[in-house]
Amino acid sequence: MAVIGFFIFTWDSRTGTVLKSKFPTDINLSSDILMKIYQAHAYEEGGGFISLTIGALNVASYLIEDEKYYFSLLLSIEEDPDTYEDALIDAAKAVMNDLYEDRYVALLPSIFQRISIYPRLEYEQKLAMIYLDLEKRYILDRLVDDGSSTVTELLGWLKDKTNKKFIDIDSILSSLVKLGLVKVVSVKGLTSDSVFLIGDIFITRIPATSSIVQIKRYNLPEKIVNDYLDETRSFFAKYVPSIEDNEIICKAIVNPDVFKILKVLRMTPMTARGIEKMKRKVEDLNEAIKILWNSGLIRILKDKQGNEYYFLKSDIRIEKFFPSYLIDTIRKSYNNQTIANHVLIEHLNILKEEYLSNYHKKSQIAYAVEEVEFE
């Protein structure tokens, strides 16, 4: 097992390390392990994330300095602790939000599961997790409106917005930087680093085009096919994206079992027998099907003989896109003199660099493909 255990401990000046909780409850944690983690954090002089090796184990650990709470993972030696950083920080936030009267203890099994799967999540799933994190979404919304902000301004604004006293702004921004959504740089003349938006998240439902094409290749009952296509047309004729619906489909897609089934249904419809075979790949098939159904992602139809067919009612598109709209935002800031000119110029230069390195090449490839197809 890659992730062996998750545990939380504190430091007491009289008694030393104090284990607060662990999951699974049967993992073996010696006082020596806790002390080595404590010393490693002390050597770094401050809170934040660290990774270290203790004997035949790798360890990922995150310290909330103000609260003196340590959140740590025991990992097998072949696992890279750094890949668990964002998941561990999110777990720490979840625990701190339910710290009162140890309410977080009931969350430990689900927290442990989310941490365990995080390094193997696909990019669209990680974007969905960003969207579901209220603090990260608030920051992105703020930057969509303003284009940029200093770290200090963002921190103060976010504390007012969420009514929280403690927010690890550096860890939040680090997560957004890793996914290519923001860039944090030092700008001459400013006492705090500046945060520039360089990517935005696009979320919508789309028709399952590949699956629809496959339908015509199978010898499915005509009525089943027509009913499916009619329902799909009717659904998208009325569909309007919304924050509430985005949250529904994001919660669905971050579930590993749901995502595995979704990926198959994206390519082809499935019979009940085919769905049953998914038990080899998913942990809880019934729960995954229930989530897909409640999220409005699948439709199950029966023929006259009672045979069931599973169709993807709507697919999901979650992707990062280049925020070209920021050119107008920067222009307005320049005209209204709300942001210093040298900061706006820095943002334009960063956007230019981002476009040329990540988007322009893709545009050229797409254009070349179109030319070939046209010829």
What average pLDDT score do residues 130-156 get? 96
Q: Tell me: do 162 and 193 sit in the same domain.
A: yes
Could you list the residue range(s) of the whole structural domain that residue 69 is in?
Answer: 3-119
What average pLDDT score do residues 263-285 get? 92
Q: Tell me: do 111 and 143 sit in the same domain.
A: no
pLDDT at residue 94, rounded to an integer:
83
State pLDDT tens for residues 286-315. Answer: 999 999 999 999 999 888 888 899 999 999
pLDDT at residue 105, rounded to an integer:
86
pLDDT above 70 for 113? yes
pLDDT at residue 372, rounded to an integer:
40
Q: Tell me: do 92 and 189 sit in the same domain.
A: no
Q: Tell me: do 235 and 337 sit in the same domain.
A: no
> What is the spatial distance between Cα 117 and Cα 87, in angstroms, rounded to a whole number?
9
Q: Tell me: do 90 and 184 sit in the same domain.
A: no
pLDDT at residue 1, rounded to an integer:
58
Q: Tell me: do 92 and 134 sit in the same domain.
A: no
- Identify the CA nearest to 348 among candidates 238, 193, 183: 183
State pLDDT tens for residues 188-206. Answer: 999 999 999 999 999 999 9
| Domain end position, chosen among 296, 318, 340 | 318
Q: Is the peptide bond before 24 cis (omega within 30 degrees of 0)?
A: yes
- Terminal alpha carbon distance of the chain: 53
Give yes or no for a contact between 140 and 185, defined as CB atoms under 8 angstroms apart.
no
Q: Tell me: do 188 and 286 sit in the same domain.
A: no
Return all residues near 345 (Cβ < 8 A) that are at least 6 apart.
Answer: none
Length of the chain: 375
**Listed range (13-17, 112-116, 138-142, 216-220) with the worst mean pLDDT:** 216-220
pLDDT above 80 for 340? yes
Place of tokens 């159904």: 293
Express as a percent the part of the chain with pLDDT over 90. Answer: 67
pLDDT at residue 349, rounded to an integer:
96
What average pLDDT score do residues 91-114 get? 82
Per the structure, how many domains does the chain have? 3
- Give the pLDDT band (50/70/90) at residue 361: low
What average pLDDT score do residues 336-358 get? 94
pLDDT at residue 214, rounded to an integer:
79
Express as a percent the part of the chain with pLDDT over 70. Answer: 95
- 366 or 107: which leads in pLDDT: 107
| Domain end position, chosen among 286, 318, 350 | 318
Q: Tell me: do 149 and 212 sit in the same domain.
A: no
Distances (CA, A) of 257 to 115, 119, 120, 291, 296: 15, 15, 13, 10, 16
Tell me the pLDDT of the chain averaged across its residues: 89
Q: Token pair of 131, please? A: 């969207």
CATH code: domain of residue 131: 1.10.10.10
What average pLDDT score do residues 140-163 get? 95
Q: Token pair of 200, please? A: 């935005």
Distances (CA, A) of 365 to 11, 124, 317, 359, 361: 55, 22, 21, 10, 6
- Give me the residues paired with residue 60 across strands: 51, 73
Give yes or no for a contact between 303 and 289, defined as CB atoms under 8 angstroms apart.
no
Q: Tell me: do 112 and 208 sit in the same domain.
A: no
State pLDDT tens for residues 13-50. Answer: 888 899 999 999 999 888 899 999 999 998 887 778 99
| Domain end position, chosen among 275, 297, 318 | 318
pLDDT at residue 354, rounded to an integer:
93
CATH code: domain of residue 31: 3.30.450.200
Distances (CA, A) of 278 to 252, 258, 314: 17, 11, 20
Q: Tell me: do 329 and 296 sit in the same domain.
A: no
pLDDT at residue 351, rounded to an integer:
96
Q: Tell me: do 180 and 225 sit in the same domain.
A: no
What average pLDDT score do residues 115-119 get? 90
CB hemisphere CA count around 286 (13 angstroms): 0
Q: Tell me: do 70 and 145 sit in the same domain.
A: no
Place of tokens 């006492």: 191
> What is the spatial distance between Cα 89 and Cα 74, in angstroms, rounded to a whole number?
15
- Give the pLDDT band (50/70/90) at residue 364: low
Read off the amino acid at residue 22.
K
